[in-house]
Structure 1
Amino acid sequence: MAWQPCRRRDLDAGNNGSDPEISFLVLPGSALEKAALARSGNVIRLFLADRGYLENGQLAPCSQPEAAIHDLAQVVARVMRVIRDGQVEMVRGTVIPMPEQSILIHPDTSGAVGLARRLREGITTGDVTIAPLTRHIPGP
């Protein structure tokens, strides 16, 4: 299936115009991020902890062997680098900026619960505060 550009009117239609202050969970640099920024500017940028990224900052397709990262220590190290330095290493070794405000683990990833525990342990040991998403949502 080919990806179609995400437009502001698509977001408005999906939201039914009911909440102009809605925040969108987005991948940095994605069409959804661009459309959401044009609509309201309210975005929360996601980093997928256990997924490989292509040089353009998008996720590696699931059909590629490097799409999923199974080494827990590598996942924790990547997340800490993103948190501390705002950078991530792509599947081919290039390092790019990765602005994030939320870390995501796919619940269908084998060992997701154990990975979440290891990440929490690594993040809190790294003197980083874990906070709810509501901290990123604009208030009244």
Structure 2
Amino acid sequence: MIAIDLNSDLGESYGAWSMGDDAAMLAIVSSANVACGFHAGDPLGILNTVRAAAEKGVSIGAHVSYPDRVGFGRRDMDVASNDLTADVIYQIGALKGIAAAAGVTVGYVKPHGALYNRIAHDPKQGQAVIDGIKAIDSSLVLMGLANAPILKLARDSGLRTVAEAFADRAYAPDGQLVSRREPGAVLHDTRLIAHRMLQLAREGTLEAIDGSTIKIDAQSICVHGDSPGAVAIAKAIRQAFEADGITVRSFLSA
């Protein structure tokens, strides 16, 4: 039996500003990457998201970021290693406290946006993030881009890892994500996305933007919670999986 994790970025609303539909997504996904306040998320909103995830039995991960609320964490930053390590400790600690208040635990860490993209191939910042995770809880799993060097760096440093693919993003022939600045980088066709994710789950491959076939070894699939039609995309993927006998299950319960 094939099982795969389905995750989404949640808890990103801030005050009167609403982002995504957490309640709907939590009825579909098996893991929730919860904002920790540095790129989005306010304390009450984060607490409500964690409580809702707990009620649904959805695994909780810390969605750590550069300190960049204005840019939604999507602006690259040249941060000193000791600052970045402390930022990661601070964010995980905040979410751990909220999770404890909700009676659950944080099981993994997924960096957000520009930080995620930067550490995929930057060993200096990558090690700073790894050091932060290990300093607060070495049992946490690091979620990172499938086929990226950060995963080996984390494993060599003693962390467990899980590789992810992106349902709503196009891939380049080298297995990297197509930049959001390029046409066709973000996918919207729910039927096409569901078909691609079935191929990924069954065969471990995807069609790149140039039509070539690339190998993607991923144990988790992300649907961005802030994407237009995110709920419809996640629902289509889950329905396609269930119809094909594929189980949606958190990698933490495997």
Q: Which interval holds the TM-score relative to the shorter structure? A: 0.7 to 0.9
Contact 1:11–1:36 (Cα < 8 Å) also in 2: no
Q: Measure the CA separation in 2 of the matches of 1:20 and 1:34.
A: 16
Aligned to 1:115: 233
Deviations 1:47-105 (A, max 9, x none): 10010011111110001112111111110010000000000111111111111111100
- 1:19 maps to amino acid: D
Tell me the CA shift for residue 32 of structure 1: 2.1
Q: Is 2:154 the counterpart of 1:17?
A: no
Q: Which amino acid aligns with 1:57?
A: G
Query: Aligned runs of 1:38-53 on 2, under 5 Å?
Result: 38-53=156-171
Q: CA deviation at 1:34?
A: 2.7
Rg (Cα) greater in structure: 2
Residue 19 of structure 1 deviates from its aligned partner by 2.1
Structure 1 match to 2:40: none
Identical aligned residues as a percent: 24
Q: 3-state SS of the aligned residue for 1:67? A: coil
Taking a change above 3 Å as real, the CA distance of residues 109 and 17 of structure 1, as seen in their structure-2 partners, is same
TM-score, normalization: structure 1? 0.87
1:87 matched residue in structure 2: 205
Instruction: For structure 2, list consecutive stretches of 5 or more residues without a partner in the other structure.
Output: 1-75, 78-117
2:165–2:220: 8 Å Cα contact kept in structure 1? yes
- CA gap 1:17/1:41 in 2 versus in 1, 3 angstroms: closer
The equivalent residue for 1:5 is 122
Distance 2:128 2:141 in 1: 15
Distance 2:173 2:217 in 1: 15
Does the residue aligned with 1:65 lie in a helix, a strand or coil? coil
Give the number of aligned pairs: 136
Relative to structure 2, which stretch is displaced further, 15-24 or 86-95?
15-24
Alignment partner of 2:163: what SS? strand
Aligned residue for 1:83, secondary structure, equals helix
1:56 to 164, 171, 174: 174
Amino acid at match of 1:5: D
Compare 31-40 and 74-83 and name the one that shifted more: 31-40
Runs of 4+ residues over 6 Å off in structure 1: none
The alignment's TM-score, normalised by the length of structure 2, stands at: 0.50
> For residues 230 and 130 of structure 2, what CA distance do their matches in structure 1 show?
33
CA gap of 1:9–1:62, structure 2 versus 1, over 3 A, is: closer
**Could you tell me how far 1:38 is from its partner in structure 2?**
1.7
What amino acid does structure 1 have at the position aligned with 2:240?
G
Kindly state the Cα deviation for residue 41 of structure 1 after the two structures are TM-superposed: 4.8
